[in-house]
Amino acid sequence: MPQMMPLSWLALFITFSTIFMMFNTMNYFSFTQKKKKSSKTPKLTKKMNWKW
């Protein structure tokens, strides 16, 4: 479509790519991970007894 040529597809691609990357990085860094408190007592693991 020659009517759309003045939009410069490369400029549009770069613009939308940068907006996409900025959106993803803002979503990634907006959530803070909660640190789990490490308990000094050892965790007990259940032994699985398989009955065949």
In this prediction, residue 9 has a pLDDT band, given cuts at 50, 70 and 90, of confident
In this prediction, residue 34 has a pLDDT band, given cuts at 50, 70 and 90, of confident
Ramachandran sector of residue 17 (left: φ over 0; alpha: ψ -120 to 50; beta: rest): alpha
Mean pLDDT of 18-39: 85
Mean pLDDT of 46-51: 77
Q: Decide which of 2 and 12 is more confident.
A: 12
Q: Please name which of 34, 37, 18, 38 lies closest in space to residue 26, comparing C-alpha atoms.
A: 18
What's the rounded Cα separation, in Å, for the pair 29 and 26? 5
Q: Is the pLDDT of residue 35 over 80?
A: no
